[in-house]
Structure 1
């Protein structure tokens, strides 16, 4: 995976409508799933109860929360792009989100993405809409597909 490096927002804007580099693999561990369950107070047994999962789950392994996969989008995008003039970025929201396939513990994920839209936002800001698909290694269906919207501000 090559990281896209832009000196400033003007260089970044040239990537609107283009496919970004393929993300690097990230392994979803039980420790991550448990931490997400603790943070969100969602301790549903399909995520954290290993004995019950072995007996009752059709997957026979813990599955990650769907919202865990969408929450990884910020990190995955930051791994792909470095804008040297960036002062800060924040999540703005999601236009569309689906979880076509569950993510089993120890699965490896990577991001496929492109930039759908870039708009000016306030002083020194951009509102960017990213087209994101989170691939699960070895599977045809993705873990998550989403239009992710972020705000970024230059120094």
Structure 2
């Protein structure tokens, strides 16, 4: 895990991979809980028997938005940004889903610091986020997440 205490330490990673999270298994229970929370019970996610018989992947798959929702959790395994008053999830940009995540797949987040700007004391950070699927050549997605940090003086 990388520890970042201020703008200068963060800036040193610009254009570089900050790190990669631990592997996380997305199981059917997590998919079902997400389906309940979002009220998205499409059979491709929740009906194991139908997905195995009729689905294009012969398995249930995680919701794309479930995989996106893992970013804050997995990001915290990569970087510990300290000495801040507040951190804000500001946006997501240019995400493309390249590969479905089959049930019981292991995934990990790779984070690269695409840009960092000091906007009159508010630090805007754009992280290129790639969700890697274990034993798969193509990632589940690639896109940018944007955080705003208010560092302590």
TM-score (norm 2): 0.91
Gaps of 5+ in 1: none
Match of 1:147 in 2: 144
Q: How many residues align?
A: 152
- Asked if the contact 1:113–1:132 (Cα under 8 Å) also holds between the matched residues in 2, the reply is yes
Looking at structure 1, the residues matched to 130 and 150 of structure 2 have their Cα atoms a distance apart, in angstroms, of: 25
Looking at structure 2, the residues matched to 59 and 105 of structure 1 have their Cα atoms a distance apart, in angstroms, of: 10
- Asked if the contact 1:97–1:146 (Cα under 8 Å) also holds between the matched residues in 2, the reply is yes
After TM superposition, the structure 1 = structure 2 runs for residues 75-154 of structure 1, keeping only pairs within 5 Å, are 75-121=73-119, 124-154=121-151
Where do 4+ consecutive residues of structure 1 move more than 6 Å?
none
TM-score (norm 1): 0.90
The CA deviation string for residues 86-135 of structure 1, in whole angstroms up to 9 with x for no partner, is 2332211122011100000110001122111112246x421111111111
1:26 CA displacement: 0.7
Q: Could you say which structure has the higher strand fraction? A: 2
Instruction: Tell me the C-alpha RMSD between the 2 structures.
Output: 1.5
Looking at structure 1, the residues matched to 34 and 141 of structure 2 have their Cα atoms a distance apart, in angstroms, of: 17
1:10 CA displacement: 2.6
Match of 1:20 in 2: 18
